[in-house]
Amino acid sequence: MHQTTIIDIAKALCISKSTVSRALTGHPNVNAKTRDRILDMAAQVDYQRNQLAISLLTNRTSTVGIMVPEFISFFFPKVIIGAQEELARSGYNVVICHSNESYETEVANAKALLASRIDGLIVSHTKETRNFDHFRSFQRKGIPVVFFNRVCEDMDVSKVTVDDYHGAFQAVEHLIQTGRRRIAHLSGPDTLMNSRSRLAGYHDALTKHGLPIAPELIISYDLNLDKANIYVNHLLNLPNPPDALFTINDPTALEALSVAKRRGLCVPDELAIVGFSDDPVSALIEPGLTTVSQPVHELGQQAAQVLLRQLLTEDNTFVAERVVLPTKLIIRGSTVQTSTNSY
């Protein structure tokens, strides 16, 4: 099937394709009457410009790639929407990829994005990623890269995150201030910098308040939810079990809450639980989940803005930016007994 081109329009009107091109792009030097005839004909044949040809010519696609490890949780879709709104405002299209937490898929996606000549990349890497050469390719070719959420420390590119360290610190301090003394931490894989930052915050909060670091209370896991309940049960089976649990994210905390319920444990009295990210579910369940909320939409906006600034910088004078957004502790029933049960 043949899509109508400017040549088709030119032939139909017995004029040159240059004139058609000029009329269609709004060039001033076109006779008003011929312009109208061209525009009419274009509408009549439902002409759509071939972006491929234009991109090949201009060496710009006006397309930005966004790659995330998954988009089943609320988090990444919301970031994507924030970024997309911002990019659309500046005339950029977006292609979304998800690596499905697989390093190989991530590399394959990166190659495909490179081949499709995107103008920039916004990315949060997989939990498996240790080698970042596939992202360095973009840098070498002069295509701006912005990391968000899960960032690569070793690359000199812009990075947008929340203050994971402080969020975790606050969460643990809240547990200490409400009387907990044996606080466990179900952490993420150490490939993720945000996981390491949250662990550091946990660590320092305990230290600040003179509590010992108990290695048996710190478990790092691969975020595979099926395993979360194994680890929670393991912690609760310890001879000296924890009285509180701080988890890497909300899904893990919800899993822990469910395990606690099944074991007949009273939350928050016997076990307090704090998550991270303020998943919408956390406000709906009972007891509500205390959690560290992050400005998710803004995360996407900021990532897009940083990228746009770099895209607008003609020469190579752009220096990588580092944006850190604030977190906020949301206190709910999983750490503090609520006065009334609304049900």
Partner DNA sequence: CTGTTAGCGCGTTCAC
Partner DNA sequence: GTGAACGCGCTAACAG
The binding site for a copy of itself (CB under 8 A) comprises 1, 3, 46, 48-53, 55-56, 59, 61, 71-72, 74, 77-78, 80-81, 84, 93, 95-96, 98, 100, 111-112, 114-117, 137, 140-143, 254, 258, 261-262, 280-281, 284-286, 342-343
Under the binding rule (CB under 7 A), the answer on residue 102 touching DNA is no
x-or-dash pattern for DNA, window 58-97, by CB under 7 A? xx--------------------------------------
What phi and psi values does residue 122 have, to the nearest 5 degrees? -115, 125
Under the binding rule (CB under 7 A), the answer on residue 32 touching DNA is yes
Q: Which of 215, 229, 220 lies closest to 191, judged by CA?
A: 220
Please report how close the Cβ of residue 201 comes to a copy of itself at its closest, in angstroms: 27
Under the binding rule (CB under 7 A), the answer on residue 16 touching DNA is yes
Candidate segments 11-19, 95-103, 208-216, 217-225, binder of DNA by CB under 7 A = 11-19
Cis amide prior to 239 (ω within 30 degrees): no
Query: Helix/strand/coil (H, E, C) string of 269-333?
Result: CCCEEEEEECCCHHHHCCCCCEEEECCHHHHHHHHHHHHHHHHHCCCCCCCCCEEEECCEEECCC
By beta-carbon proximity to DNA, the closer residue of 31 and 313 is 31
Find how far residue 2's CA is from the centre of its chain.
39
Q: Which of 205, 334, 189 lies closest to 267, judged by CA?
A: 334
Strands (E), the chain: 63-68, 93-98, 120-123, 145-148, 158-162, 183-187, 218-220, 244-247, 272-277, 290-293, 322-325, 328-330
Candidate segments 32-40, 145-153, 232-240, 333-341, binder of DNA by CB under 7 A = 32-40
Under the binding rule (CB under 7 A), the answer on residue 224 touching DNA is no
Please report how close the Cβ of residue 247 comes to DNA at its closest, in angstroms: 47
Candidate segments 2-10, 92-100, 278-286, 290-298, binder of DNA by CB under 7 A = 2-10
Q: Are 9 and 20 in contact (CB under 8 A)?
A: yes
By beta-carbon proximity to a copy of itself, the closer residue of 164 and 255 is 255
Query: What CA–CA distance (Å, rounded) separates 337 from 325?
Result: 30
Under the binding rule (CB under 7 A), the answer on residue 19 touching DNA is yes
Please report how close the Cβ of residue 11 comes to DNA at its closest, in angstroms: 11
Query: What CA–CA distance (Å, rounded) separates 35 from 21?
Result: 10
User: In the complex, which residues of this chain contact DNA (CB under 7 A)?
Assistant: 2-3, 5-7, 15-19, 21-22, 24-25, 27-32, 34-35, 49-50, 53-54, 56-59
